[in-house]
Amino acid sequence: MRRFFSKFKFFGVVLLGLSAIIIYLFYNALQPKKNLPIFQPSMVDQSLVDSTLHYKKKYHTIANFELINQNGKTITQDTYQDKIYVADFFFTTCPTICPIMTKNMVEIQNSILDNEDVMLLSHSVTPVIDSVAQLKKYAKEKGVDDNKWNLVTGDKKQIYALARKSYLAVKTDGDGGPYDMIHTENFILVDKERRIRGFYDGTNPEEIEKLLEDLKILESSYAE
């Protein structure tokens, strides 16, 4: 009799385990999938959006570009083809927010070193000062991995147009001329289709954690 109940107990434990697995699978299946928004100009503070884009509600993507990185290599949109990337705007002589942003970008870099799908892109907003040699020096000092992270310089008007009309990251005042100056703490998450999927304060550790979480969500959307 004891042997009979012992077998019954074993099957009961197995059944209980299977029930727990089934409940867990059903619970996960019923949970809404996490998806990141696809940001359009109409969804962003209009002070950060060029007037020609205020009412654009779909199909906004990062424009084509051609810039030079810390190694003197030409970097274009093709460099980031089929890549998720995080973009920002900085300058090497900035004494305020840029060192914090760079430190946090290094943290992001270290978390994606083995991830072939993700890269980083930092645009100098003082390209006349930030020559290739200056960017290379800065990259070495900050621990930039050339395979993951491009620091780019080039035509100022092109960089400022990207900031204002593509990345929707800074106020639209100015024309990229010699006295025009932008300064933004924004990190921008861009997907493989060159669409904006998130904005984050690059000086805020909590925002960096949020970015890394959103990055995983975005990556998982390509694995489905």
Q: State CA 161 to chain mean position distance.
A: 19
Residue 22 CA to its chain's centroid (Å):
36
Q: Residue 98, annotated ligand binder?
A: yes
Q: List the structure tokens of 119.
A: 């890269």
Q: Hey, CA dihedral for 169, 174, 176, 178, is it positive or negative? A: negative
Query: Do the annotations mark residue 60 as ligand-binding?
Result: no
Is 94 labelled a binding residue? Answer: yes
Q: How far apart are the C-alpha atoms of 184 and 94, rounded to whole Å?
A: 11
- Tell me the pairing of strands 66-68 and 74-76: antiparallel
**d(C-alpha 93, C-alpha 99), whole Å:** 9
Helix or strand (DSSP H, E) at 142: helix 132-142
In eight-state DSSP terms, residue 69 is -
Angle at 70 between CA 153 and CA 94, to 5 degrees: 60
Give binding residues for Cu cation as ranges.
94, 98, 183
Give binding residues as ranges.
94, 98, 183
